[in-house]
Amino acid sequence: MLPTTELALLRRVAVEQAERRAPSLVAAVVRGQEPLWTGARGSVDGSAPTPDTQYRIGSITKSFVAVLVMRLRDEGLLDLNDPLDKHVSGTSFGHLTVAQLLSHTAGLTSESPGAWWERAVGADWPALVESMSREPARHRAGERFHYSNVGYGVLGQLVAELRGAPWTSVLADEVLAPLEMTRTSPAPVAPHALGWAVHPYADVLMPEPTPDAGAMAPAGQLWSTVTDLARWVRFLAGDTGGVLHPDTVAEMRAPAAVEDGAAWTSGYGLGLQTFRDGGRQYAGHGGSMPGFLASVVVDPATTTGALTLANSTAGVGVSALSFDMIKLVDEYEPALPAEWAPLPAVSPDLLALTGEWFWGPMPFVLRLLPGEWLDLRPAAGSGRGSRFRPVAEGAWVGLDGYYAGETLRLHRHADGSSSHLDLATFVFTRTPYDPEAPIPGGLDRGHWPTTG
């Protein structure tokens, strides 16, 4: 990167570490395939931390668990609308759906009953279920966003039961190994930082415990490094390495609930936090455990992302730092658009579908995209528009916008020529209200003179 950009990033990290009194702090900026910059301040065991130094990442763990659940969904082993007790029996909250647990809309209590779970050796699954047998709910299911660490303990058990192995083993085999994240683990492996609490009124430290959280481990157990989390940033931006389809990651990034109402700036998707700032939408997750703070954020539109790890219980603005690093890089060195290039061989039949179509009297334009995708949207102004991915001969499914999830079907005349498009029962024709198309309600040609 340009020296001015690197200096601006280092200064921002240095100010955060000094003013917030972080024992150590490491950070990185990622765009596309590679980390653009890494930086560190403070010390671990008397030396500056490196991109290979492990820190506990807290609730970023939830995103990894969510990926395991979405893999099960994509394989057809569960549906997000399934109630929990279809797969995990014996709980007092089996009516809650997988999607509600993923998006923190199940209404479950935020913490597990009993001792402060982050600082205590965790109980096993039967003990957690027993502790939740009395009044586990704090809100009606689906009523609102209510962050629940317990919900992710439940999802970890769901993965274990459907895979027949501990969630940590499943994670290692199905996610960490394919992504070559060799320094992400449920327990610390040297070199790693120790967790500290910084006294609020004196520059002295107290060590924090890092016990195994047991059945609550899926809520915040993992440790990782700058190098590994840089790969995770790429994953969240869509470079999935075959672990998930990029469309599934995009589904996870879409906000399912918001935290702050109509002018929302933060929300939650399926295992990912979502943020809105300055006309841009970000996705990622923050993490907090005694002795540690962490943040991973990416702008999928530019693939610019940032991460921050610190070994302090509180006070370090890791999320704000991550956002600021993204903004600095995109301001100082904005990403260049991909070079335009013509499509390779194009099907003449698909090419013939492009151009103007009418929804009633309103003109739309159909464009051909790479991969035989289609883009249909109003010819002028805003309105209902979506991209569509092919799923069968003459059929495409909507990926975004108003028609996300809906099927676009091409109908042909007996001679094979295109007749009309059917999109969620709406009929699109080559001319306004084409009399040759099956348009419900009939056409009053007395008031619409036939032309051509």
pLDDT digits (tens, 9 = 90+) for 164-184: 999 999 999 999 999 999 999
pLDDT of residue 451: 53
Q: Going from the N-terminus, what domains does the chain have, and what CATH number goes with each?
A: 3-332 (3.40.710.10), 348-429 (2.40.128)
Whether 184 and 224 have beta carbons less than 8 Å apart is answered as yes
Q: What is the mean pLDDT of residues 79-92?
A: 96
Q: Look at residue 452 in the predicted model and tell me its pLDDT.
A: 46
Range 288-296 average pLDDT: 98
Give the angle subtended at the CA of 41 by the CAs of 40 and 44, to the nearest 5°.
Answer: 95
- Predicted TM-score (pTM) of the model is 0.90
Higher pLDDT, 268 or 445: 268
Give the CA dihedral 95, 96, 97, 101, nearest 10 degrees. -160
Q: In the structure, what pLDDT confidence band is assigned to residue 449 with cuts at 50, 70 and 90?
A: low
- Tell me if 78 sits within 8 A of 162, measured CB to CB: yes
Question: How deeply is 138 buried, as exposed, middle or buried, from its count of CB atoms within 10 A (0-12, 13-18, 19+)?
Answer: middle
Residue 65 tokens read as: 């668990």
Helices and strands of the chain, counted as H and E runs: 10, 20
State yes or no: pLDDT of 60 exceeds 90. yes
Q: How confident is the model at residue 450 (pLDDT cuts 50, 70, 90)?
A: low
Q: Which of 424-428, 441-445, 446-450 has the highest mean pLDDT?
A: 424-428
Tell me what the pLDDT averaged over the chain comes to: 94
Whether 371 and 381 have beta carbons less than 8 Å apart is answered as: no
- Decide if 156 contacts 167 (C-beta within 8 A): yes
Q: Which whole number is the average pLDDT over 20-44?
A: 96
Who wins on pLDDT, 32 or 328? 328
- Span 374-398, average pLDDT: 94
Tell me, what's the pLDDT at 259? 81
